[in-house]
Amino acid sequence: MSVPIRKPSPQTVQEPVHTEDEQIIAWIKDPGTVDRGFRALLAKYQERLYWHVRRLVIEHEDTNDVVQECLVKVYRKIGSFRKDSGLYTWLYRIATNEALSFLRKQKRKATRSIDDEELLLAEKLKADAYFDGDAAQLHLQRAVAQLPDKQRAVFNLRYFEEMSYQDMSEVLSTSTGALKASYHHAVKKIEKSMVAIEPN
């Protein structure tokens, strides 16, 4: 069996050489090079968007659907992209919206209580062939799962992706002050949950 790929940590990642965003946009805006531009965009961003969506949606199959939908939407809407926002934050904005919209639809369909949802998530993680985290990581994901969806997005973007509050503000259309408050609140809740499990 082949070894699954794990997301490299921001601290250890060796970024491959990627095309500059300006070049990608220029290629995409030119009908003659649109394919080249979109391929460059995928090469640079598809993995990052996948991991971002995966942390929100949790299951690989669901994530795959959401990310494909998101990238097709990016291709269709790239003509309306305006340079006054960064390509990176624009892509994260679309991906976040797609993921949150998916979760909202999933909740509408579900007949289970919120507590059941959280238990189910923990079971899903344990059973997921593509979740190979240890007990501490499982506990962290369970604690994160108890946050409201938008706060989860805030926590994940800051904790795992080290995104600045300014960029998060563009992604989530929320003021930096509100984001800081949301992140601090999320961190305190998760810390409390960790202390309850491991008092020492």
**How many Cβ atoms are within 10 Å of 45's Cβ, its own excluded?**
21
Q: Which of 10, 18, 85, 112 touches other proteins by CB under 8 A?
A: 10
CB of 23 to other proteins, least distance (A): 18
Q: Binding string, 93-132, against other proteins, x = CB under 8 A?
A: ---xx--xx--xx-------------------x----xxx
Chain residues 69-88 in contact with other proteins, contact rule CB under 8 A: 71-73, 75-77, 79-80
CB of residue 133 to other proteins, shortest distance in Å: 2
Q: b vs e for 180-191, b when ≥16 Cβ sit within 10 Å of the residue's Cβ?
A: eebbeebeebbe
Give least dist CB 16 to other proteins, A: 12
Q: Which two tokens stand for residue 61?
A: 């199959």
Does the CA dihedral 150-153-157-159 come out positive or negative?
positive
d(CA 99, CA 48): 14
- Residue 12 near other proteins by CB under 8 A: yes
Q: Is 195 in the site for other proteins (CB under 8 A)?
A: yes
Chain positions 28 to 47 lying near other proteins, rule: CB under 8 A, are: 34-35, 38-39, 42-43, 46-47
Does residue 51 touch other proteins according to CB under 8 A?
yes
**Residue closer to other proteins (CB basis): 22 or 164:** 164
- Where residue 162 falls (left for φ over 0; alpha for ψ -120 to 50; beta otherwise) is left
Which position has the token pair 């909740």? 107
Judged by CB under 8 A, does residue 190 bind other proteins?
yes
Cα separations in angstroms, 188 against 27, 143, 150 = 44, 11, 16
